[in-house]
Amino acid sequence: MKRKTFVIIIFSLLAMMILSSCSGDDSQTDPRKTVISMFGAMEKDDRAKLAHILDLPELMNNIQDDYALQTNEPRVFYSPEEILDDLTGKGETKKRWFSLQRIVSHVHIDGDEAAVEVTFVDKEKSIGYLTKFGLHKKHGRWLIFSFKTKPTQNRL
C-alpha cells in the first residue's frame, strides 16, 4: 500500500511539473508579448486577463489626455471597472482600436520600465498613429500603465 501511494505521489508531482513548464506565460517576461496578450484579451472580452496585465490604478491616474485615439477631450475613469468596460464589449477604446490595423513593433527596456511601440493604421485615410505603451515590472511581471506616450501621426 505504501509503495502504491509513493508511486501515485511521484507521478502526480511529475505531471504538475510538466504542466507548469508547458503553460509558461511569456507575457510575464516579455513586454511586447504583454501588449499582444492585452489585444488578445480585448478581442475575447477577457476582463480577468486584462486585470492581470494592466496596472489599473495607474491607468486611472491618466487625466491629462485620452488614451483612445482621435479624441479632443480626455475621459476620466473613476473605477477599474470603467476601464475594463472601455476595453471590452462595446467600449469606445475597443471600437476605435479594433477599427484600425494594430502593429506591435519595437521594445525599449530600461531596467524595470519598458516602452512598446504600437502603430494604429487607418488604411482608408493612409494615416498611421505611432504611440508607445508604457510598462513597468511589478512583482516580476510586466504591467501596462500607460497607452499613450508621445503619439505621432504619420502620412503613409
Q: Tens digit of pLDDT per residue, the chain (156 long)?
A: 566 655 465 555 444 444 433 344 445 679 999 999 999 999 999 999 999 999 999 888 876 666 665 566 667 788 999 999 999 999 999 999 999 999 999 999 999 999 999 999 999 999 888 999 999 999 999 999 998 755 455 555
Q: What pLDDT was estimated at residue 7?
A: 47
Q: Give the chain's domains with CATH numbers.
A: 27-155 (3.10.450.50)
**Cβ-based neighbour number of residue 118 at 10 Å:** 24
Strands (E), 4-140: 101-110, 113-122, 127-138
- The x, y and z cell numbers of residue 36, run together, are 499582444
Q: What pLDDT was estimated at residue 20?
A: 39
Global pTM? 0.75
pLDDT in tens, 140-153: 999 999 987 554 55
Q: What pLDDT was estimated at residue 147?
A: 87
Dihedral pair phi/psi, residue 148, rounded to 5° = -145, 100
Cβ distance 113 to 135 under 8 Å? yes
Cβ distance 63 to 75 under 8 Å? no
Q: End-to-end CA distance of the chain, in Å?
A: 72
Kindly write down the DSSP assignment for every residue of 6-46, as one continuous string. Answer: HHHHHHHHHHHHHHHHHT--GGGT-HHHHHHHHHHHHHTT-
Cβ distance 142 to 136 under 8 Å? yes
**Cβ-based neighbour number of residue 97 at 10 Å:** 19
In whole angstroms, give the CA distance from residue 100 to residue 35: 16
Q: What pLDDT was estimated at residue 61?
A: 82
Q: What pLDDT was estimated at residue 114?
A: 97
Q: What pLDDT was estimated at residue 16?
A: 47
